[in-house]
Copies of this chain bind each other. A is one copy, B any other.
Amino acid sequence: MAQVQEEVQLLGVGGSPFVRRIQIALKLKGVHYTYIEENLRNKSDLLLKFNPIHKKVPVFFHNGKPLAESLVILEYIDETWENYPIFPQQPYEKALARFWSKFIDDKCLPAISKAAWTVNKEEREKGIEESLQALQFLENELKHKFFGGVNINIVDIAASYLAFWLPLVEEAIGLKFLSSGKFPKLYKWSQEFINHPIVKANLPPKEGILGFFKSRYAALTTASK
């Protein structure tokens, strides 16, 4: 249970889909928190001290106790603040939600990353194929407005990247995934998700992210010439 006087802090960078997961969950639950912007090009002592293993954001602090890894933080948040549950209540449905969140992190995002940011043409083609396959599994899994049903749940939050960041990647690199017409349910979901009032209010400005992806792609294609 949440304590009466409590301190909630989040160390992050504005453009990170993993940090946004935490912000969306906290906002859905109405938990007040202090946000601390990290500089990943010159990592702070705070980051290096409290996430010495991964040296990545988000790092979450509850009454001074640190936690890293976004899916781990999301489970903690859901167990600590009961308002607006983001995990299903029944063990089997909860396990499936964990399975799909893990699938997004372990299979779907690495495949997209390989498709988008690999110089080697063969690897890149393999990445595209794996991405389409992973998105198809999610397309088949989507039975309602959200993965969570009528409400956003952990799987929707874990899939934030697909709804908001992926279209910007597509624009930057000239490949089509969500907008290919192959995944109509997933595309519709992405629109519902980014237009959900709390999600919408907690996404970064598009221009910065798109600019970052364009530069990254330019650097990549220049390097490979």
Contacts and interface: CB of A to CB of B under 8 A. Distances in A.
A69 B107 CA distance: 13
A72 B137 contact: no
Contacts of A67: 92, 95-96, 99
Nearest to A1: B91
Contacts of A76: 91-92, 94-95
A137 B53 contact: yes
A99 B80 contact: no
B65 A92 contact: yes
B107 A72 contact: no
A12 B154 CA distance: 29
A19 interface: no
**Chain A's interface: helix, strand, loop or mixed, by majority?**
helix
A203 interface: no
Interface of A: 53, 62, 65, 67-69, 71-73, 75-76, 79-80, 91-92, 94-96, 98-99, 102-103, 107, 137
Given A69-B98, A72-B98, A76-B95, 17 more contacts: A53-B103, A53-B137, A65-B92, A67-B95, A67-B96, A67-B99, A68-B99, A69-B99, A69-B102, A72-B95, A72-B102, A73-B95, A75-B95, A75-B98, A76-B91, A76-B94, A79-B94
